[in-house]
A and B are shown apart, each in its own frame.
Chain A
Amino acid sequence: MAERPFRIWRGDEGGGAFESFRVEIDPGMVVLDALHRIQARDANDLAIRWNCKAGKCGSCSMEINGRPRLACMTRMNSFADGETIVVQPLKAFPLIKDLVTDVSWNYEQNKRIPPFSPRPRDADGQHRMYQQDADRVQEFRKCIECFLCQDVCHVLRDRAGKSAFVGPRFMIRLASLEMHPLDDEDRVPEILHEFGSGMCNITRCCTEVCPESIDITDNGIIPLKERVVDRFYDPVVKLWRRLSGASVRTEPRPLAKLSRGDGP
């Protein structure tokens, strides 16, 4: 294959601009290979975050020709001949440098989620669950935390949205806990009040960009919304509760305070 033109965002929070590069492409190369070649030859200090180069760790998230992608899973032969490849950092998170953004907000959200709390083991000391039940949460547990879904989320793209909604990644994290066959915890009031399930208006952009093909919206977010509706808004259920005297929790508990490491 021939040389390909690249436009790569260079800069930091103080500002920056696109820079042009040309790079020789060998058969089978992905965008991350091309970026590494540019880094080794023309721009030693080009900042890129990456780890496995096999689509398993979710580190090399960036926007390639306007779409949030993993650079390691974007093949060079997916572009038209002569097409310029434009590479820039994720837009939903603050820029650190070049193609690297500060995604620490996501790690803070994870900490706020009440952890897994298992039911007691069976008398013989074993936990039992069946594959068909495991399947449901295993789909969510495929998540590699690339945060591409967070990047395209309309709510999170707006700075204010981050205080109202945890975003698709953590909705499916919550779903993986709520639907976990062994989990005893109830997080439904928090899903509504703390994690902002109502903010999602089901545009399915998150599902579309998921490199693990997790059906984030239909299998994760919508079932959680349904659980919220059942608890808070279903008139029949409400009436039944009043008549039967059954009580369920509707007030959220105070969640663990956010604590940040010492940081750089």
Chain B
Amino acid sequence: MLDIGEIQTIEHDVVVIGAGGAGLRAAIECSREGLDTGLLSKSLLGKAHTVMAEGGMAAALGNVDARDNWKFHFRDTMRGGKFLNVWRMAELHAKEAPERVRELEEWGAVFDRTRDGLINQRNFGGHRYPRLAHVGDRTGLELIRTLQDHGVHQGIAAHTECTALSLLKDGERMAGVAAYWRETGRLVLLRAKAVILATGGAGRAWGVTSNSWEYTGDGLAMAYDAGAELMDMEFTQFHPTGMVWPLSVRGILVTEGVRGDGGVLLNNEGERFMFGYIPERFASETADSVEEASRWLDGEEGARRPPELLTRDVVARAIMAEVKAGRGSEHGGALLDIASRRPPDFIKRKLPSMYHQFKELAEVDITKKPMEVGPTLHYFMGGIRVDADRQETRVPGLFACGECAAGLHGANRLGGNSLSDLIVFGRRAGLGAAEYVRGLAATPRLDEDAAREVFRRATGILNRQSGANPYELHEKLQSVMDRDVGIVRIKDDLVRGVEQIERLSAEAATVKAHGASQYNPGWHEALSIRSLLLASEAVARSALVREESRGAHTRLDFEGEHDEWSRYNVVCRKVADGRMQVEKVERPEPPAALQQIAHASIEDIETGRIGATAPGRGDG
């Protein structure tokens, strides 16, 4: 029998799980609010998946085009999300992003500059104006390093290479986290009054993904087990441009910045095929000829945006359709060409990582030759259901922010809205947790029996005599998700997918890791399988329930958006018998002022006919 008294115990007011952009920003805010703050990270500090974000962070600073303001950013976000976003979150995000970006500069970030010395902004898919503050194509690194270097002076206790296993409660409220140190395998209990999850998505459930190993849905699974709800899980974004060759790098991201800076998509006949895939909703704002698209690139006012900059869902499906029609590139993708559009110096300066990445990994010089690209699982729009203003789940004391939280992006995320999401809602989660902790009458006492059970299950993987190989189990799950829960979906596949996931879940109950607990990747892999399976199940079941095609969710058997469905989110929760209940939940009516802005024409906002009286700043 495990003696809880002998387990290492650490106490904090708040524990933040995840040290990417959202977690770091949340921890900084908690510390600033005077909370004793612990930050848990599976990796070393500064290595989280945020480092891979390339293109930039969207904020209506108006430095490059003075017409931009929060209303356009809000409108773009809602339209990109096919109006399934949580309206209030899209509003807060658009209003607060500029101040958060300026704050990063105050903390040492060095963004690329305009000629006037201000923060430069680049064009990106779905954004009406040049809006993405950026540093070449390594914006994520700049964000995480700035937060890290600022954060280490804020008195935050960083517990690195420490993995959370389960959330622990006192009755209904949060009371702590059960975790283990990867280095030694030693177990640890973190007692805390509040917990903020900032754990990202679960992209590693797919074989072709841009996500790093950390993306195993730990936070999604822990929140779900603790009684929180998962929302919009059917909306998994396939980024249109991942590397497709060589196989070993398949899925690695090719930034949308390539297209933002002039890159075009071609099929094997040399045709710019995106002109054939412009959806009705964006037709009036998209160039309809190569000639007009070129004029836009030259900066001509009045010229409309090239169709390569349509939202990610549209571009990803277009590439798939071209490949299916036999017009794909040699290894089954499309050709992304910037070499014939921009001089080598420009490419190396604006897209240095891409230049480096293709040169080193694919032996392709992108200043001379086009890149082969295809869709890759990139991002979870769905996640833990939270309150818009302070990011609290329905479990008292449990907060979530960043990719693991649902709501901001609706059915499809615009590029650049993720990094700004992290800093806007990371901060808000920190403020929310601080307010919650201040309102607590007594320190919660965590359920030690539950902790004992969590630890027993974790060590059981090492102790049992034989069982499934965790790596093989993971590979099996990836082929199920690639095949049955991919970019285009149909009922029979989804039903089969759910069955397969259930079968794998049964197998996972007997998974076996060899060796000792000290820095043992086999054990780490085995421990993450449960989270991956849970997240996968939620995606597949939610995809089955939503009988329409909207944003990133495409059903071959239910084509097009159905108005009826715009009124619902799909929510998953754990019910008493341990089953996953998946339910359509009616959306609240949005405020009239916001509706007006979201549906207004660009001219109406520009001339102030609409939205002129809406408040200009965030409440924060």
B471/A39 in contact, CB under 8 A:
yes
A30/B248 in contact, CB under 8 A:
yes
B106/A118 in contact, CB under 8 A:
yes
> Which of B106, B118, B141, B352 interacts with A144 by CB under 8 Å?
B141
Give A128 to B515 CA distance when docked, in angstroms: 56
B247/A47 in contact, CB under 8 A:
no
Give A49 to B45 CA distance when docked, in angstroms: 13
Give A107 to B34 CA distance when docked, in angstroms: 24
User: Which residues in B have their C-beta under 8 angstroms from that of A45?
Assistant: 513-516, 520-523
B183 to chain A, nearest CB (A): 5
Give A150 to B10 CA distance when docked, in angstroms: 32
Is residue B159 within 8 Å, beta carbon to beta carbon, of the partner chain?
yes
User: Which residues in A have their C-beta under 8 angstroms from that of B111?
Assistant: 134
B361/A30 in contact, CB under 8 A:
yes
Contacts of A24-66 to chain B: CB distance below 8 A: 26-30, 33, 39-40, 44-59
Chain A: which residue is nearest B138 at the CB level? Answer: A142
User: Which residues in A have their C-beta under 8 angstroms from that of B150?
Assistant: 115-116
Assuming the contacts A45-B523, A57-B212, A103-B44, asked whether A97 and B246 have C-beta atoms less than 8 A apart, the reply is no
Assuming the contacts A28-B245, A45-B523, asked whether A129 and B113 have C-beta atoms less than 8 A apart, the reply is yes
Contacts of A93-108 to chain B: CB distance below 8 A: 96-98, 100, 102-103, 107
B212/A47 in contact, CB under 8 A:
no
> Which of B46, B245, B361, B469 interacts with A73 by CB under 8 Å?
B361
A-contacting 9-mer, from B47-55, B414-422, B591-599: B47-55
User: Which residues in A have their C-beta under 8 angstroms from that of B108?
Assistant: 115-116, 118, 177, 180, 182-183
Is residue B110 within 8 Å, beta carbon to beta carbon, of the partner chain?
yes
Give the interface centre of B108, B184, B213 by most chain A CB atoms within 10 Å.
Answer: B108
Is residue A163 within 8 Å, beta carbon to beta carbon, of the partner chain?
no
A53/B212 in contact, CB under 8 A:
yes
A257 to chain B, nearest CB (A): 12
A50 to chain B, nearest CB (A): 7
User: Which residues in B have their C-beta under 8 angstroms from that of A261?
Assistant: 157-160
Is residue B142 within 8 Å, beta carbon to beta carbon, of the partner chain?
yes
Give A26 to B519 CA distance when docked, in angstroms: 28
B357/A55 in contact, CB under 8 A:
yes
Contacts of B127-151 to chain A: CB distance below 8 A: 135-136, 138, 141-142, 145, 149-150
A47/B521 in contact, CB under 8 A:
yes
Is residue A127 within 8 Å, beta carbon to beta carbon, of the partner chain?
yes
Is residue A245 within 8 Å, beta carbon to beta carbon, of the partner chain?
no
Is residue A110 within 8 Å, beta carbon to beta carbon, of the partner chain?
yes
User: Which residues in B have their C-beta under 8 angstroms from that of A97?
Assistant: 518-519
Chain A: which residue is nearest B39 at the CB level? Answer: A261
Bin chain B's interface residue count. Answer: 35 or more
Q: Could you give, for residues 496-526 of chain B, a 1 whenever the CB lies within 8 Å of some chain A CB and a 0 otherwise? A: 0000000000000000011110111111000
B469/A44 in contact, CB under 8 A:
yes
Is residue A208 within 8 Å, beta carbon to beta carbon, of the partner chain?
no
User: Which residues in B have their C-beta under 8 angstroms from that of A126?
Assistant: 118
Assuming the contacts A28-B249, A39-B521, A51-B214, asked whether A128 and B514 have C-beta atoms less than 8 A apart, the reply is no
User: Which residues in B have their C-beta under 8 angstroms from that of A155?
Assistant: none
Give A56 to B353 CA distance when docked, in angstroms: 8
> Which of B161, B362, B516 interacts with A264 by CB under 8 Å?
B161
B186/A44 in contact, CB under 8 A:
no
> Which of A96, A144, A183 interacts with B51 by CB under 8 Å?
A144
Is residue A131 within 8 Å, beta carbon to beta carbon, of the partner chain?
yes
Give A207 to B513 CA distance when docked, in angstroms: 41
Is residue A141 within 8 Å, beta carbon to beta carbon, of the partner chain?
yes
User: Which residues in A have their C-beta under 8 angstroms from that of B346?
Assistant: none
Contacts of A180-219 to chain B: CB distance below 8 A: 180, 182-183
Is residue A137 within 8 Å, beta carbon to beta carbon, of the partner chain?
yes
Chain A: which residue is nearest B349 at the CB level? Answer: A135
Q: Could you give, for residues 152-170 of chain B, a 1 whenever the CB lies within 8 Å of some chain A CB and a 0 otherwise? A: 1100011111100000000
User: Which residues in B have their C-beta under 8 angstroms from that of A29?
Assistant: 246, 248
B44/A59 in contact, CB under 8 A:
yes
Bin chain A's interface residue count. Answer: 35 or more
Give A142 to B105 CA distance when docked, in angstroms: 16
Q: Could you give, for residues 135-159 of chain A, a 1 whenever the CB lies within 8 Å of some chain B CB and a 0 otherwise? A: 0011001101100000000000000
User: Which residues in A have their C-beta under 8 angstroms from that of B117?
Assistant: 128-130
A52/B212 in contact, CB under 8 A:
yes
Is residue B112 within 8 Å, beta carbon to beta carbon, of the partner chain?
yes
User: Which residues in A have their C-beta under 8 angstroms from that of B102?
Assistant: 125, 127
A44/B248 in contact, CB under 8 A:
no
User: Which residues in A have their C-beta under 8 angstroms from that of B213?
Assistant: 50-51
Is residue A81 within 8 Å, beta carbon to beta carbon, of the partner chain?
no
Chain A: which residue is nearest B162 at the CB level? Answer: A264
A133 to chain B, nearest CB (A): 8
B486 to chain A, nearest CB (A): 21
Is residue B3 within 8 Å, beta carbon to beta carbon, of the partner chain?
no
> Which of B43, B142, B186 interacts with A51 by CB under 8 Å?
B43
A47/B520 in contact, CB under 8 A:
yes
Is residue A241 within 8 Å, beta carbon to beta carbon, of the partner chain?
no
Give the interface centre of B8, B135, B212 by most chain A CB atoms within 10 Å.
Answer: B212
B362/A28 in contact, CB under 8 A:
yes
B153 to chain A, nearest CB (A): 5
A33/B47 in contact, CB under 8 A:
no
User: Which residues in A have their C-beta under 8 angstroms from that of B45?
Assistant: 107
B153/A111 in contact, CB under 8 A:
yes
Is residue B224 within 8 Å, beta carbon to beta carbon, of the partner chain?
no
A138/B356 in contact, CB under 8 A:
no
A54/B106 in contact, CB under 8 A:
no
B514/A44 in contact, CB under 8 A:
yes
B188 to chain A, nearest CB (A): 8
A262/B10 in contact, CB under 8 A:
yes
B316 to chain A, nearest CB (A): 20
B356/A55 in contact, CB under 8 A:
yes
Q: List 29 A-B contacts (CB under 8 A).
A: A26-B246, A28-B249, A28-B362, A39-B521, A40-B475, A44-B515, A44-B522, A51-B49, A52-B51, A52-B212, A54-B357, A56-B138, A57-B51, A57-B52, A98-B519, A111-B153, A131-B112, A134-B111, A138-B110, A138-B136, A141-B145, A142-B138, A145-B47, A183-B108, A261-B160, A262-B8, A262-B10, A263-B159, A264-B183
- For the A-B complex with A28-B249, A142-B352, A145-B46 known, give 5 more contacts whose Cβ atoms are closer than 8 Å: A26-B246, A39-B522, A130-B117, A138-B112, A142-B141
Task: List A residues at the B interface (Cβ < 8 Å).
Answer: 12, 26-30, 33, 39-40, 44-59, 73, 75, 96-98, 100, 102-103, 107, 110-111, 115-116, 118, 125-131, 134, 137-138, 141-142, 144-145, 177, 180, 182-183, 256, 261-264
The 6 closest A-B pairs by CB, nearest first: A28-B246, A45-B515, A44-B522, A264-B181, A128-B117, A116-B108
